[in-house]
């Protein structure tokens, strides 16, 4: 896969040239702290010359005891984690501020602190490696402090090549902070100068600070998927991107896929009934469950492209519901399960409607696999996975469709019956049949046409959020209410 192109060719230059340009800028001055992979980033600045104009301090706290003495210990015992990166950035940037900011020779400096904590490939190549990189920086002297943080996964099969890639990536980050700050999306895409997705995957990004208060990190997360930097990203109710490894590690994961355009009472009933059924499983612990609302790029496409405003409209409501959102490229469910299985071997659950289940059991979707549908089902159900089937109301026949009367191709029917008999596919019980006549396409059409009655088809106070923010083309404007989010969470 080719890496994304930077929109401004003048910035598509080598890491050496970027490091030299930064060294020659007398206003930029900062420190480097690197754990694990060695002094790979700062080495570029030393090599190209003029480093004394940029580097205040270079630190490699490789020994854990020494690292703890400087930055404090980690309760989890993990050193390649976001909390360790934050401690490093806190310490290094505070040190610059207290020791250098008041010195006359540094009175016009824009200070920064770069830090990374990275684990590269192990000797047996059973672990490819991952890491955290961050920059805390000022755009002007005595200006506000901003922060640019990413999480990466390493794919090279050689430690030296991984270290080289980390060095290039770190230089690209610092350069982007000072030269591409007026275009946050370009800051992200420029990270792949001299790199490609086969070497490094960026699956989490966060940009914050007074100079970036208008930046929506959900859109930056979406850009990672759109531009092929990763296959999936996750962001939380606050809109900030999350590290999948931290969130999903050894968790029971329950996932609902949908367009959520908008969230309807059917979606809420699906997740409620699915969650209740999931908790009854022997291998599921309530305190260990993570619920994901998943949207694929196919769900987000409008006329062949992703409509960012439409995406934000949907995300706004899901975040208001206090939900965690997964955006992926996985149009096929077996790819989603493969992805989730990177992080956990615990029991997982998928909630889906009749149409999605029929897609899973349609052999034409697996022509890319040598083993066809059997290989796909093997990937799906070789894991500790259960599929929870939500019924569908067939308006033409005026009947409710569930596992007893679902129309499955005769050649696939024995496979379906096998999975059903062994409890891998189950019907959700106690479903509110009155909700089955709600269809999201009808709701969105009613919103756009300013028709009455759609409010009754969405969860409590979601209608007020849609009207208040005029989401999905809504033309009715209402004032917000301070109790909206509280009531939403209660209703959920």
On average, the pLDDT of the chain sits at 90
pTM score, two decimals? 0.89
According to the model, what pLDDT value does residue 303 have? Answer: 57
Question: pLDDT tens for residues 64-98?
Answer: 888 888 888 887 778 899 999 999 999 999 998 88
Q: Residue 2 pLDDT more than 70?
A: no
**Mean pLDDT for the stretch of residues 408-418:** 94
Q: What is the CATH number of the domain that holds 403?
A: 3.40.50
Question: pLDDT tens for residues 207-255?
Answer: 999 999 999 999 999 999 999 999 999 999 998 999 999 999 999 999 9
Same domain, residue pair 155 and 300: no
According to the model, what pLDDT value does residue 10 have? Answer: 56
State how beta strands 28-35 and 241-242 pair. Answer: unpaired
Q: What is the CATH number of the domain that holds 92?
A: 3.90.950.20
**Candidate ranges 73-87, 164-178, 386-400; pick with highest mean pLDDT:** 164-178
Q: Residue 489 pLDDT more than 50?
A: no
**489 in any annotated domain:** no
Same domain, residue pair 200 and 250: no
Structural Rg of the chain based on CA atoms: 25
Q: How many domains does the chain have?
A: 2
Q: Please give the Cα distance from 405 to 401 (Å, whole number).
A: 6
Q: Measured between alpha carbons, how far apart are the two ends of the chain, in Å?
A: 41
According to the model, what pLDDT value does residue 6 have? Answer: 39
Same domain, residue pair 359 and 422: yes
Same domain, residue pair 267 and 372: yes
Same domain, residue pair 166 and 108: yes
**332 in any annotated domain:** yes
Q: Residue 183 pLDDT more than 50?
A: yes
According to the model, what pLDDT value does residue 89 have? Answer: 97
Where residue 464 falls (left for φ over 0; alpha for ψ -120 to 50; beta otherwise) is: alpha
**1 in any annotated domain:** no
**Mean pLDDT for the stretch of residues 401-430:** 94
How many other C-beta atoms lie within 10 A of the C-beta of residue 135? 25
Q: Please give the Cα distance from 377 to 420 (Å, whole number).
A: 13
Same domain, residue pair 191 and 276: no
According to the model, what pLDDT value does residue 99 have? Answer: 83
Q: Residue 5 pLDDT more than 50?
A: no
Token readout for 162 is: 């991984």
**Candidate ranges 312-321, 379-388, 390-399; pick with highest mean pLDDT:** 379-388
Q: pLDDT grade, residue 349 (50/70/90)? A: very high
Q: Residue 480 pLDDT more than 90?
A: no
Q: pLDDT grade, residue 34 (50/70/90)? A: very high
Same domain, residue pair 258 and 203: no
Show which of 412, 437, 462 is a domain's final residue.
Answer: 437
Q: Residue 118 pLDDT more than 90?
A: yes
**Mean pLDDT for the stretch of residues 383-410:** 92
**465 in any annotated domain:** no
**210 in any annotated domain:** yes
**Mean pLDDT for the stretch of residues 290-295:** 96
Token readout for 349 is: 């659950």
Q: pLDDT grade, residue 479 (50/70/90)? A: low
CB 30 within 8 A of CB 112: yes
Element (H, E) at 151: strand 145-154
Residues 6 or more apart whose Cβ sits within 8 Å of residue 229: 4, 188, 191, 192, 197, 201, 202, 203, 223
**Mean pLDDT for the stretch of residues 316-321:** 89
CB 300 within 8 A of CB 311: yes
**Mean pLDDT for the stretch of residues 433-439:** 92
Angle between helices 82-100 and 64-71 (to 10 degrees): 60
Return the percentage of the chain with pLDDT > 70, whole number. 93
Same domain, residue pair 113 and 180: yes
Same domain, residue pair 126 and 250: no
**Candidate ranges 10-24, 105-119, 187-201; pick with highest mean pLDDT:** 187-201
According to the model, what pLDDT value does residue 374 have? Answer: 92
Return the percentage of the chain with pLDDT > 90, whole number. 73
**Candidate ranges 90-104, 295-309, 391-405, 475-489; pick with highest mean pLDDT:** 391-405
Same domain, residue pair 358 and 257: yes
According to the model, what pLDDT value does residue 307 have? Answer: 83
Same domain, residue pair 206 and 284: no
With 0-12 / 13-18 / 19 or more C-beta atoms within 10 angstroms meaning exposed / middle / buried, residue 32 is buried
**13 in any annotated domain:** yes
- Please report, for residues 204, 251, 392, 423, the alpha-carbon distance to residue 417 in angstroms, rounded to integers and kept in the order given: 40, 29, 19, 10
Same domain, residue pair 421 and 372: yes
Lowest mean per-residue pLDDT among 111-120, 259-268, 299-308:
299-308
Q: The tokens 């409590």 sit on which residue?
A: 460
Token readout for 246 is: 């931290």
**Mean pLDDT for the stretch of residues 353-367:** 90
Q: Residue 267 pLDDT more than 50?
A: yes
**443 in any annotated domain:** no
- What are the residue ranges of helices labelled H in 331-426? 333-340, 354-360, 372-381, 413-421
CB 19 within 8 A of CB 45: yes
Range of the domain at 379: 246-437
Token readout for 229 is: 């930097």
Q: By three-state DSSP, how is residue 263 classified? A: coil
**409 in any annotated domain:** yes
Backbone angles phi and psi of 433, in degrees to 5 = -60, -25
HSE of 146 in the Cβ direction (CA atoms, 13 Å)? 24
Show which of 419, 437, 455 is a domain's final residue.
Answer: 437
């Amino acid at each position: 896969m080719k890496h994304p192109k930077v929109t401004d060719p003048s910035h598509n230059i080598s890491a050496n040239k970027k490091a030299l340009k930064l060294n020659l800028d007398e206003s930029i001055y900062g420190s480097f702290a690197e754990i694990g992979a060695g002094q790979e980033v700062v080495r570029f600045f030393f090599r190209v010359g003029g480093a004394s104009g940029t580097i205040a301090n270079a630190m490699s706290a490789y020994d854990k005891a020494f690292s703890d003495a400087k930055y404090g210990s980690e309760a989890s015992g993990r050193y390649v984690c976001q909390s360790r990166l934050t401690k490093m950035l806190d310490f290094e940037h505070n040190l610059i501020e207290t020791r250098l900011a008041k010195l006359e020779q540094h009175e016009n400096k824009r200070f920064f602190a770069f830090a990374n904590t990275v684990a590269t490939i192990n000797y047996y190549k059973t672990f490819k490696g991952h890491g955290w990189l961050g920059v805390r920086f000022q755009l002007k002297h005595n200006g506000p402090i901003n922060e640019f943080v990413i999480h990466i996964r390493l794919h090279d099969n050689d430690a030296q090549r991984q270290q080289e890639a980390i060095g290039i990536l770190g230089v690209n980050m610092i350069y982007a902070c000072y030269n591409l700050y007026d275009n946050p999306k370009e800051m992200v895409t420029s990270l792949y100068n001299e790199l490609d997705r086969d070497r490094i995957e960026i699956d989490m990004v966060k940009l914050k600070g007074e100079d970036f208060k208008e930046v929506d990190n959900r859109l930056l997360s979406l850009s990672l998927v759109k531009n092929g930097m990763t296959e999936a990203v996750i962001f939380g109710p606050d809109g900030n991107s999350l590290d999948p490894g931290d969130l999903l590690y050894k968790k029971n994961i329950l996932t609902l896929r949908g367009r959520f355009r908008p969230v309807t009472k059917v979606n809420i009933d699906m997740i409620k009934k699915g969650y209740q059924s999931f908790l009854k499983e022997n291998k599921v612990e309530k305190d260990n469950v993570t619920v994901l609302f998943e949207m694929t790029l196919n769900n987000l496409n409008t006329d062949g492209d992703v409509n960012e405003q439409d995406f934000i409209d949907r995300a706004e409501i899901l975040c208001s519901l206090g939900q965690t959102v997964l955006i992926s490229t996985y149009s096929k469910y077996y790819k989603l399960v493969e992805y989730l299985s990177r992080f956990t071997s615990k029991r997982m659950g998928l909630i889906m409607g009749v149409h999605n289940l029929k897609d899973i059991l349609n052999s034409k979707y697996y022509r890319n696999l040598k083993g066809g549908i059997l290989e796909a089902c093997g990937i799906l159900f070789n894991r500790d996975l259960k599929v929870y089937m939500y019924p569908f109301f067939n308006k033409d026949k005026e009947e409710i469709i569930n596992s007893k009367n679902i129309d499955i191709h005769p050649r696939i029917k024995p496979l379906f019956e096998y999975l059903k008999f062994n409890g891998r596919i189950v019907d959700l019980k106690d479903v509110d049949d009155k909700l089955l006549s709600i269809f999201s396409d009808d709701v969105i059409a009613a919103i756009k046409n300013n028709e009455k009655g759609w409010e009754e088809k969405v969860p409590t106070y979601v209608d007020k959020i849609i009207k208040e923010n005029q989401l999905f083309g809504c033309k009715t404007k209402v004032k917000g209410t301070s109790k909206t989010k509280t009531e939403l969470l209660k209703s959920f």
